[in-house]
Amino acid sequence: MRLDEDKIQKHFSGKIFDIISSAADEMNLECYAIGGYVRDIFLYRPSKDIDVVTVGKGIDLAKAVANKIGKGVKLSVFQNFGTAQIKYKDLEVEFVGARRESYERGSRKPFVEDGTLEDDQNRRDFTINALAICLNKNRYGELLDPFGGLEDLENCIIRTPLDPDITFSDDPLRMMRGIRFSSQLGFDIEPETFDAISRNKDRIEIVSKERIIDELNKIVLSPKPSVGFLLLDKTGLLELIFPELVALKGAETKDGVGHKDNFYHTLSVLDNISLKTDNLWLRWAAILHDIAKPATKRWDNRLGWTFHNHNFIGEKMIPGIFRRMKLPLNEKMKYVQKLVGLHMRPVTLVEDEVTDSAVRRLLFEAGDNIEDLMILCEADITSKNQDKVRRFLKNFQIVRQKMKDIEEKDHVRNFQPPIDGQEIMDIFGLAPGAEVGRLKSSIKDAILDGIIPNEYEAAYQYLVKKAATIGLSPVK
């Protein structure tokens, strides 16, 4: 089958493909575009990453192509893997020789040897990724689809080319990839392929945490992430890679009083927030916002089910989760911690009278992340009672307006007290110590509580009075 002329012109015109085709013909090498780039042509998805497979030495072809391009090209050779990469303008082209693979039971690193295009297509993870298009001039645009990948694309099906048990046992990361494609593309996993994931789930233990989290992050960033997480749960993979999330499952009733299933609530919050932001770490805050509820769940005869301090306990759990899952232990983790720790605060403002002092403190503690915090809190409203949803969202708008008014008037976001610790020591002749910290904090609290304005003179007068109560007076 040949691609129609319009598709060829749209996707395979331009300098890079002309050069690849010319270089392959000059070297008498069969040459094909394969994998995701070809798949995305039929999905009408733009792609800048191109995989090229040749029946021969992929590195040699890459070098020839780079030489023909000349200026503006960057060539990287990975001799140990038999691959090379060309970066040219906004494109990335990976070159590899066609190969066949075999695996040992305890490793997902294959034994590789040269092979045919058929061998290379056989080793692909899914039929939709085994599509290949010839780039040689005499067969330019010819589509090779030995496993019915095009039909699976049309029917929105994820299916392995060969026996799925062998496919997933050989390389268990393919199980995560299949679920990721289902979540990204909105495709169904073919039943036998799905069942094979369940049967082989324990093989995921031979995959590095780094590779697993890379796939999981792509699921988190998919249009409706709950699709991927539900598939991970149904196949049994989620309990192996993210047991803390599975622990949220279940609703319990006592004396006629129940609580919601926090697993499905969390997925609803994640889907809600995904409608508003592509920020990966804000989405992770949604995933982790209630992560400590199992640890804090208590029954109170007067109040019913309680989860006191689940936000603060959750904040403390996050470093351990990030460390185990190989997520970054840097400012991104601290950002997630901050949002999880603060996510109940705007809700409290909604339920109570919105005081200036409470709003100032929230602005100060959230700093530049205040808008992300509000997005998280609004996504956290998952009630099926639409009147309740509308009421909460309306109250959040009141809080937003109050924050805007106070920020314009008091400038408390990320503020530092007008008098710092060094000046306090100079004023009272103090050595560094806890007393200096307490005096500095008293100024901050007075500003946040609206006792004094955020100005130097007012802060100085307040400081002198406060110091006098503990027997201190200025030395100059």
Can you list the domains of the chain with their CATH numbers?
A: 5-155 (3.30.460.10), 156-241 (1.10.110.30), 421-468 (no CATH)
- In this predicted model, what pLDDT tens digit does every residue of 360-419 receive, in sequence order? 888 888 989 999 999 999 999 988 888 888 888 888 888 888 888 888 877 777 778 889
Angle of CA points 461, 465, 471, to nearest 5° = 140
Q: What is the pLDDT of residue 8?
A: 56
CB 326 within 8 A of CB 209: yes
pLDDT grade, residue 230 (50/70/90)? very high
Distances (CA, A) of 154 to 11, 38, 61, 188, 274: 19, 14, 33, 12, 26
Q: What is the pLDDT of residue 4?
A: 61
Q: How many percent of the chain have pLDDT more than 90?
A: 67
- In this predicted model, what pLDDT tens digit does every residue of 85-126 receive, in sequence order? 999 888 999 999 998 765 566 555 655 667 889 988 988 999
Q: What is the pLDDT of residue 303?
A: 87
Q: What is the pLDDT of residue 13?
A: 52
Strands 91-97 and 132-134: unpaired
Q: What is the pLDDT of residue 347?
A: 79
How far is the C-alpha of 400 from the C-alpha of 407, rounded, in Å? 11
On whether the pTM is more than 0.85, the answer is yes
Q: What is the pLDDT of residue 107?
A: 58
Extract the tokens encoding 370: 């205040």
CB 271 within 8 A of CB 226: yes
Mean pLDDT of the chain: 90
Higher pLDDT, 64 or 392: 64
How far is the C-alpha of 115 from the C-alpha of 167, rounded, in Å? 18
- In this predicted model, what pLDDT tens digit does every residue of 133-181 receive, in sequence order? 999 999 999 999 999 999 999 999 999 999 999 999 989 999 999 999 9
Q: What is the pLDDT of residue 301?
A: 84
- In this predicted model, what pLDDT tens digit does every residue of 311-322 receive, in sequence order? 999 999 999 999
- In this predicted model, what pLDDT tens digit does every residue of 250-296 receive, in sequence order? 888 888 888 889 999 999 999 999 999 999 999 999 999 999 999 99
Q: What is the pLDDT of residue 410?
A: 74
CB 290 within 8 A of CB 266: yes
pLDDT grade, residue 10 (50/70/90)? low
Contacts of 227 (CB under 8 A, 6+ apart): 182, 183, 186
Q: Of 227, 236, 311, nearest to 268 (Cα)?
A: 227
pLDDT grade, residue 198 (50/70/90)? very high
Q: What is the pLDDT of residue 102?
A: 57
How far is the C-alpha of 194 from the C-alpha of 123, rounded, in Å? 19
Residue 9 has pLDDT above 60, yes or no: no
